Structure 1
């Protein structure tokens, strides 16, 4: 039997009705339905946990009270999307969870659409989509606590789709998509900017594709991206320190060495970040394709050169950041827009080595299912076993019970909470009450007509000795209210051992 006959038999086997692999081989729609079910399960798992928020969720809950062109160290795209959901369906754990998993699903779908541009076989697009599950940043981490990172991943996939579409057929829609993707990416994470720059360099290296850069429709890309970025860019001009201080602080470790030692540490951090991002994908492909995978490493064509050069240029950009700044720490999260093309790059190299990757879909489906199952467990597992392990998550905080105890004393007109996490949770528990973060009050919020008593002030109580209150109440000084004596509230953690308690201090101003 010749190779074509064997391939036909194996394709027929793969597509036998009733087999999950056969269903997924149908392409984008079946794969999207399969992944959609996974993300619905993820939402359900999150909703079955206690009604307390992680740090990123709390930030989104707090910021959903107002629309600004900028909110701090992170660009505002995810905040805008989150605020739109809250405006429509109200503040709740569901409205805080839904946008993240919708964006994540779109990331997978756009990635599949990008793959379809270079290989029209439906099963190849499905394979590319599902291969994203092998990237922990696309499977495990979003189940924990990500927001802005998910937005930049979606923008990256959309950019790849627009780029590959434009290189294949150069229609105005492709230029439009690239413009939208660049705009969204730049107001999702600032490090996204290296991606279109790397694509520009990679396209310039191909004589035929170079003409796409001088097409008049490229102006559409520039206009659309600028229109999307402009509101935040204007805000950024007057708030540059606020926007960059947090990111720079995370990239520079305390007591870090200087000179060559600093650069060596940063380069080691970059290597570890690359391994953390893509090692699992490489290992899974190497095991699944065996000798064919090793053979594919030397295969390629213009598409693999494009994707490979884009990733290389982005990493070179990171190296320049390391050399010319005080950077000492690079995490895999910051490499998301740069290394996201890795699964498609590896699949295309396998194809160019003569391996029909779609015939391995049946073999890889169990791997994908195991990844989906494993990534759905840790957050719930850590929460439910907190009492056994002594390792409590923020979701174990009994903040719903705290709210019930406080509501028994009265209804506040305004809440002042110490810290982002506590303030965001108060916003969730008191959805109709303006909440102020005492550590980062917002000028003009609440509106003057909403500023009235009684005011509830609340903070984390560490058993301090008598002294000044550990909360800044200057944001409500103009109301001229009188503070009641401070009280303490202690409640056991959800799913705890009954001994560990959350201790809060609070008072009323009337």
Structure 2
């Protein structure tokens, strides 16, 4: 009965979070970067979209068909995923922790992870889907260990496919899982069951079309390699082999968990909690192997930068392991405080954008793209519009959903999608081609005061 009641409380928290995420977009004059990308890419159903897997965009395409092209459509999907993360993590926590309050605290601790409560709450797309996929996969693993049914293996395979189609970072989790399944007897028993073939078959069927698109004759994997180089920064980073990337990686982990660590220290000295030796089970081994693999990756690729949002999906399930490793006093009071803190942070995130606008705090979302869209529609309505990047293209599409809009940085767009008609190309810089003369311009646009030039091709 207690767990049923607590599930209702978590459900309310998830629903309020969903509503808040949906409402935040209404206060913005422009879409965030990742929402703008989705506004652009969801014009088409493709097997792949530049340097990200296609699943999130497929889901966004479906949402757009139901609700149309508007701000709510792009916040709706993120809100569903954020709520799903809370609910799935709670279900996993309940399976592993027998005490109701500790199960709830595993979810409430997420409010102390800045990148989760800010980036995931306000803007992240593929990373949010990856968080959901990894937590869902952990849940399926626990189901398989408890009951080796056909349905559980089918569900496990589906989540592997979903994870790989969510974000390529999922491969780090999958490698860790394979290694731990060799190491840990309990996990090995689940994996060595003949029904695992069902999981493998389902996952392969799900990822096969995108895999062919990626490594097929068109050579999109080379663009992906260049994107990874640019993101990890090793093309312009350290010279020679050093251990600096490991320090950067450890700094990223500390940034991710700093507030939780501070809370643990305070609670320990106030005698609110006591640490106990965690069980050396498959879940603990997953943490150790995963941390090692990530560290080796950044070391081998000599990456001088590590974004906390890259680490987030792989780390947030381990709030459950943290709660398994402590004994709590007055846990019911801690849960009450945790809920109120979560609600307070949701409120702050909701009113942040209008307050920034009222106080005239510069933010890119306060600068709408109406000047660009108005100039294009008033003077060049019969032309094909080509914008300088997906941020521009997505925001202009939001204002003109009836138009098919192209972006110059969309390398995966097939030529067959281009219409054979004259185009107006918007460039942030003046054309280096001396024979091209700008037919129009907008000077000092947006927060960055960019100069836009219009060329007829």
- With normalisation by structure 1, the TM-score equals 0.80
**2:107 pairs with 1:129:** yes
Instruction: Please state how far the C-alpha of 1:491 moved relative to its aligned partner.
Output: 7.7
The Cα of 1:65 is off from its aligned counterpart by 1.2
5+ unaligned residues in a row in structure 1: which ranges?
1-14, 16-21, 471-484
How much has 1:284 moved relative to structure 2? Answer: 2.6
Structure with the greater relative contact order (CA < 8 A, sep ≥ 6): 1 or 2?
Answer: 2
Cα distance in 2, alignment partners of residues 381 and 467 from structure 1 = 46
Alpha-carbon RMSD:
3.0
Q: How far off is 1:438 after superposition?
A: 2.6
Map 1:306-317 to 2 at 5 A.
Answer: 306-317=282-293
* Offset of residue 369 of structure 1: 2.9
After superposition, the C-alpha distances for 1:193-216 in whole angstroms (9 at most, x for unaligned) are: 121332343344443443212112
State the distance in 1 between where 2:432 and 2:299 align: 47
State how 1:125-204 maps to structure 2 within 5 Å. Answer: 125-204=103-182
2:50–2:410 CA contact under 8 A, matched in 1: no
Aligned length: 453
Q: Secondary structure at the match of 1:415?
A: strand
Other structure's SS at 1:140 match: helix
Q: Aligned to 1:295, what secondary structure does the other structure show?
A: strand
Structure 2: how far apart are the matches of 1:229 and 1:282?
Answer: 38
Aligned mates of 1:174, 1:293 — CA distance in 2: 38
Of residues 252, 255, 265, the one that matches 2:233 is 252
For residues 11 and 165 of structure 2, the distance between their equivalents in structure 1, rounded to whole angstroms, comes to 26
Matched, 1:486 2:439: yes
Q: Quick one: distance in 2 between partners of 1:409 and 1:208?
A: 67
Which one of the candidate residues 286, 304, 307 is aligned to 1:331?
A: 307
Deviation at 1:339, TM superposition (A): 1.1
Q: Secondary structure at the match of 1:256?
A: coil
Larger radius of gyration: 1
Assess if the C-alpha contact under 8 Å between 1:73 and 1:246 holds in 2: yes
**What displacement does 1:383 show?**
4.6
State the shift of 1:508 in Å.
5.7
Aligned pairs for 1:230-269 within 5 A: 230-238=208-216, 239-253=220-234, 255-260=236-241, 263-269=242-248
- The answer to whether residue 309 in structure 2 is matched with residue 346 in structure 1 is no
Could you say if the C-alpha distance between residues 508 and 89 of structure 1 is closer, same or farther in structure 2, counting changes exceeding 3 Å?
farther
**Residues 460-471 of structure 1 aligned to structure 2 (within 5 Å):** 460=428, 467=434, 469=436
Paired residues of 1:73 and 1:245 also in contact (CA < 8 A): no
**Structure 2 runs not aligned, ≥5 long:** none
Looking at structure 1, the residues matched to 291 and 353 of structure 2 have their Cα atoms a distance apart, in angstroms, of: 31
Report whether the alignment pairs 1:103 with 2:73. no
Give the deviation of 1:505 after TM superposition.
2.7
Give the Cα–Cα distance (whole angstroms) in 2 for the partners of residues 153 and 186 of structure 1: 12
Matches within 5 A, 1:290-439: 290=269, 295-296=274-275, 298-302=276-280, 305-350=281-326, 353=327, 357-358=331-332, 360-385=334-359, 387=360, 389=361, 392-409=362-379, 411-439=381-409
Say if 2:5 is the partner of 1:26. Answer: yes
**Partner of residue 35 from structure 1, selected from 14, 19, 26:** 14
Task: Give the distance between the partners of 1:27 and 1:170, measured in 2 at CA.
Answer: 28
Residue 310 of structure 1, CA deviation: 0.9
- Mapped to 1, the partners of 2:125 and 2:64 lie a distance apart of 15
Whether the 8 Å contact between 1:70 and 1:236 is mirrored in structure 2 is: yes
Say which SS state the counterpart of residue 506 (structure 1) adopts. Answer: strand
**Distance verdict in 2 for CA 1:439–1:364, change over 3 Å:** closer
* 1:224 aligns with one of 176, 188, 202: 202
Tell me the secondary structure at the aligned position of residue 408 of structure 1. helix
